[in-house]
A = this chain, B = another copy of it.
């Protein structure tokens, strides 16, 4: 088994470890942009700087620091303008996270150029990005060449099983969390062994926690212990990772890292698709936050009315977001039966006067039949949508896969399970 695992990991590493040529190309691009920003307080960060990026999937962050005193408002205005001015002539796009930043495309490589405030230590961070230099420092001080490869294996594994990324769309493990887990456990395999035994709440005490956390996975940030670096990890992502880890240790295979294309079987039960097309620019995390809330509201509404929801999820493809709600049946009937009191109780008078359809069951209790307020799943889900962006909606019952992104949801079995 150990032998088989070693083989798999070597194969994975040979695919995810960047080539020297790739590294050189990135360095040259970074240098050209640095040149343009000469005189400003510039630092390279991100997975490229930490040496934990995956081949073909570089995250290069060029941070431009301004004194803490200018305040965070300055960053999105004068700060950003200063940088834009310097980068004139390059292919530059605006992007939005907590604050706006720039994405520069050069020689086939994308570099994020991010204005930030210079603070004395991680816990003084005003915006999330101000903490980044301290993360970089911490990680590079803890990981050697071998350790960096272990992070690469872990990231690829998390991607493969679908739980990589802290964004609301995924609610999974960020790059930084992957690095911290590797530092704590020592190697990729030790991370898996640890995770396979997780029972929430799980604490990874690289440093003592600076306050109490409520999340299923708790990793106090070594550079700011009042913050849980793993706050975004949902119970579901944690469960998937733990189960996949347990399975990999018994049945190792490349499928965990590079899942095959899902096969498409018949649609099981009735799957209602609510196709949302957003008609104006949006911030990913804001949109997905609204999608998640809408979906939760829709599920509550459906279950309250009496539908048996099997599973639900969302995926993105073809410029659209698909909300997928799978139920045992789309048809639960227009009427629902209510069990009333036994005939001999005083309350039975009340039950009779309040219901038109009322009769006596074999058990001597009163029963009634009431029309459901709403029994159309389309309407229930439509009314639950709470999107602030201008958008268009189409709804239909799935007969066949409309977009490849639906395949995994419909499969109802992880690809890494044989």
Contact = CB atoms under 8 A, between A and B. Distances in A.
Contacts of A362: 234-236
A348 B247 CA distance: 11
Interface string A84-102: 0000000000000000000
A310 B367 CA distance: 8
A139 interface: no
Interface stretch (A49-57, A350-358, A388-396): A350-358
Contacts of A356: 413
A236 B343 CA distance: 9
A359 B414 contact: yes
A310 B328 contact: no
Contact of A413 (B240, B246, B332, B359): B359
A184 B33 CA distance: 106
A217 to B, nearest CB: 11
A308 B329 contact: no
Interface in A324-359: 327-337, 342-344, 348-349, 352, 356-359
B328 A329 contact: no
Contacts of A349: 246
B268 A364 contact: no
A352 B361 CA distance: 41
A239 B269 contact: no
A309 to B, nearest CB: 8
Contacts of A103: none
Q: Which of A246, A333, A361 neighbours the largest number of chain B CB atoms within 10 Å of its CB?
A: A333
A311 B242 CA distance: 47
A369 interface: yes
A369 to B, nearest CB: 6
Interface size class of A (residues with CB under 8 A): 35 or more
A175 interface: no
Contacts of A335: 268-269, 310, 328
A386 interface: no
Interface in A269-323: 269-270, 306, 308-311
A192 B216 CA distance: 64
A5 to B, nearest CB: 19
A357 to B, nearest CB: 4
Contacts of A4: none
Q: Which of A268, A342, A349, A359 neighbours the largest number of chain B CB atoms within 10 Å of its CB?
A: A359
A331 B334 contact: no
Contacts of A239: 342-344, 360, 364-365
Given A198-B344, A200-B364, A369-B412, A359 B311 contact: yes
A177 to B, nearest CB: 18
Contacts of A330: 331
A357 B413 contact: yes
A309 B339 CA distance: 12
Given A240-B360, A356-B413, A367 B329 contact: no
Interface of A: 198-200, 216, 234-236, 238-240, 242-243, 246-247, 268-270, 306, 308-311, 327-337, 342-344, 348-349, 352, 356-365, 367, 369, 412-414, 417
25 contacts: A216-B364, A234-B362, A235-B362, A235-B363, A236-B360, A236-B362, A239-B342, A239-B343, A240-B360, A243-B343, A243-B348, A247-B352, A268-B334, A268-B369, A269-B333, A269-B334, A269-B369, A311-B337, A311-B361, A327-B333, A328-B332, A330-B331, A358-B412, A358-B413, A369-B412
Given A198-B344, A328-B333, 7 more contacts: A239-B343, A243-B343, A268-B334, A310-B337, A329-B333, A356-B413, A357-B413
Q: Which 9 A-B pairs have the closest CB atoms?
A: A329-B333, A328-B333, A239-B343, A199-B344, A235-B364, A331-B331, A357-B412, A239-B364, A310-B337
